[in-house]
Amino acid sequence: MKERWVLLIGTLFLAVELAFFIFWVVVNYSFATKILSMVTANHVGGRLAFIAVGLENGLSSYLIIPIIVFYNTTYLFLMYSIFVFFSDRVKKIKFIRNYLESLENKAIRKKSLIKKWNWFGLSLFVWIPLPWTGAVIGSYIAHLEGYNTRDTLSIVIPSMWIGIVSWTLWFDELYELIEQFGKGRTILLTIFLIIVPIIYTLLERFKKDKQ
């Protein structure tokens, strides 16, 4: 599978996402803002924050799952194709260059660990919802290890989907358990999931600057 086809699929998915979002803005603005808050949380705090904000907004886990699957698959296709096909071009744009280089450096740092485990380690890396793990960096690691595009996506996509389903269902049960001890207490966990990745990123930058 060539990177240009991955980019094309990602672009088509993005067009579909935008069309649906515009539709919900017109039909149900409240629902559209919930989706937007989930997407924002995803880019700030990661997948668990994505799930937590969806549950905090009162959405069913069976609605959250397809939203996250579709959005993260689209994001993976776009970021992977940009990384391996257009990186030299887009790096001319400063803020994109800084973002890509940050992701690439994270992938390189974790490369040695994943190499020992091969496809299993890569799958586990994608499945674990910790800061700076996941499908995008996992696909970068696979590319740096010499995997072709088809093999990379064959490993990363199922692992990502399984992770989304399993963690969403588990978090749904966790939130129901927390709510038994009082309404509104789940918001503390949601805020925690958003803040921790930010703190982690700041600490990483501090260590880098100190070195």
Q: Pick 182 or 108 by higher pLDDT.
A: 182
Taking the mean position of all CA atoms in its chain, how far away is CA 62? 18
Model confidence, pTM: 0.81
As a dihedral over the C-alpha atoms of residue 39, residue 43, residue 49, residue 50, rounded to 10 degrees, the angle is 30
Which pair of tokens denotes residue 100?
Answer: 């890509």
Rounded to an integer, the average pLDDT of 13-28 is 95
Please say whether the beta carbons of 163 and 123 come within 8 A: no
- Residues 182, 185, 187: CA angle, nearest 5 degrees: 150
Highest mean pLDDT among 44-48, 129-133, 155-159: 155-159
Give the pLDDT of residue 65. Answer: 96
Return the pLDDT at 115.
54
Q: What is the mean pLDDT of the chain?
A: 82
Q: Say how far apart CA 100 and CA 103 lie, in whole Å.
A: 5
Q: Which sign, positive or negative, has the C-alpha torsion 177, 180, 181, 184?
A: positive
Mean pLDDT to the nearest integer, 126-155 = 84
Give the separation between CA 169 and CA 51, rounded to whole angstroms. Answer: 9
Top-ranked range on mean pLDDT: pick from 73-77, 144-148, 196-200: 73-77
Q: Write a three-state SS string for 105-123.
A: HHHHHHHHHHHHHHHHHHH
Residue type, 155: I
Span 87-105, pLDDT tens digits: 555 455 555 556 566 666 6
- Average pLDDT, stretch 135-152? 84
Task: Write down the H helix ranges in the chain.
Answer: 3-27, 29-45, 47-56, 61-85, 87-90, 94-127, 135-144, 149-179, 186-210
Q: Considering only 5-14, 117-126, 160-169, which range has the smallest mean pLDDT? A: 117-126
